[in-house]
Amino acid sequence: MKHLYKYLLFLLLPFLANCSDNENWTIVEDIQQGVYITGAATVYSGEAPASSLKAIPLDGDVKELPELVGIYTWLKSSGDFTISIATDLNQVVKYGNGGEVKKADNISVYTLTQDATPLKVEKDGFYFVIVNTALKEINILPVNYGVIGAATPKGWDGETPLSAPSFDDRLTISWKGKVNITPGGYKFRYSGGWGQEINKEGGVAKIFTDLGNFGTSQAPLIENAMSQVKPGGPDFTTEVGGEFEFTIQYDLRTRAYNATFDIIGEAVVPPKYPEKMYLVGNATVYDWDEPGTKAAAEMHKLAGGTVGVYWKILYIEAGKGFKVSNAKWANPNLGFAEVNEFDANGVTVTESGGNMSIATSGMYTVVLDLRDNTTKLSVTPAKVYGMGDTFGGWDKDKATNLFVEDKTAKTLTSPALVANGNVRMYVSHAWIADWWHSEFNVFGTTIEYRNDGGDQAAVPATAGQKVTLHFDDNTGSIK
């Protein structure tokens, strides 16, 4: 079929026409080769640059595919729409609903069939419409943003939702919402996961479902000033907390996302915590050497954005003294009296010459919590577990994956690995929220800790091997 139209460059419905917009209108007489979305459900009256689908960024080694094109747009449930594919100048074929391929809360997929019944959505909203021209499939994703990250109430485990998107009936879609924020990183995300898989020939491709910095590195989002953000960008960061009111906007004309925030009330300045804390004393292998002079005595931070909490596994001898201290005996320098609260579910810690002492020698996990203007300390028998395919699954604190203590060698040793793959392991403690917050691994003969960083590099191993850990000097083996 051949169609010849006169179009406006932005071809947004006639209600967009007012004096202030006229300078942006341009006559388009030919339909160029490409893919377009049109119909009463859309804000586009025909095939033109404003209604064209463009190549989309992909999450992976392949950054885009010519057959995958998409558009973020507003769709109304009261109308319907079709996909037009122009294979040559003014050579247009319209496609409709050829049958459902997949339907879920976060995506609907249909086959595209020439001249079939037009497509519809069940509710008004903002959608990411993606067409695979090779497979003749359309993917329709509702886009409802929330805020996710270490700085948010749910951490990296889920979005705190913003309001449903609103459309000004002209050019701008907006999301707003108030979220209690703590210092840390965050992003905007929809779909409940990191990316959405889209069918392609021979497999799947993954699209970005998050919004981050427009640049290439982490940076704060600007307060009270809209700044451009993009799908798949780096995290935003904040050094202060408080009640943040976020605003995200999408402009149909420029196809750009922008975002900002405003702090409601006073910003909350977080407390300053020591960069490093150390275990010392003649109950430890580190003796009373000045804190900071022996690297192996350093306690470890938590991943996941929790600050002010430190942990370490070590061998503690009964009846001898130990302390937890900042470098060079600076504050906090914690003996028995300086601890406000000991863990009631841990082993009993007693006073010994102003220091701390326990009754039974062994491998222990020591956790220090300096949050909430108090000082809490826990000493519990060390519990280290394997995690992942090499240990037979991803169940937390699985009894068969518990490492066994050798009091003589002062080591912890895993059960034999059940499968080839990458080793993952962690210390388990009631004060540590999730397993990956206290993860570590053996690289060569050295134990390296995740601390407050991201995923560690993969460490491959073979079924039948065992992991042996000597925490006092942070050494280990997999053999």
Question: Hey, where are the domains in the chain?
Answer: 7-137, 146-268, 277-376, 384-478
Topology of domain 7-137, per CATH? Immunoglobulin-like (2.60.40)
Residues 6 or more apart whose Cβ sits within 8 Å of residue 401: 385, 386, 387, 391, 392, 414, 415
DSSP state letter for 390:
G
pLDDT tens digits along 70-106: 999 999 999 999 999 999 998 999 999 999 999 999 9
pLDDT tens digits along 457-479: 999 999 999 999 999 999 999 99
pLDDT given at position 308? 95
CATH number (1.25.40, 1.10.600, 2.50.20, 2.60.40) of 146-268 reads 2.60.40
CATH architecture of 277-376: Sandwich (2.60)
pLDDT given at position 334? 98
Amino acid at 332: P
Confidence of residue 381 (pLDDT cuts 50, 70, 90): very high
Q: For CA atoms 291, 292, 293, 294, give the dihedral sign.
A: positive
CATH architecture of 384-478: Sandwich (2.60)
Distance CA 201, CA 326 (A): 58
pLDDT tens digits along 278-337: 999 999 999 999 999 999 999 999 998 789 999 999 999 999 999 999 999 999 999 999
Answer whether 146-268 and 384-478 agree in fold: yes
Least confident interval from 228-237, 242-251, 265-274, 425-434 = 265-274
pLDDT given at position 6? 37
Whether the pLDDT of residue 215 is over 90: the answer is no
Looking at residues 185-199, what average pLDDT do you find?
95
Residues 6 or more apart whose Cβ sits within 8 Å of residue 251: 171, 172, 258
Half-sphere exposure in the Cβ direction for 333 (13 Å, CA):
11
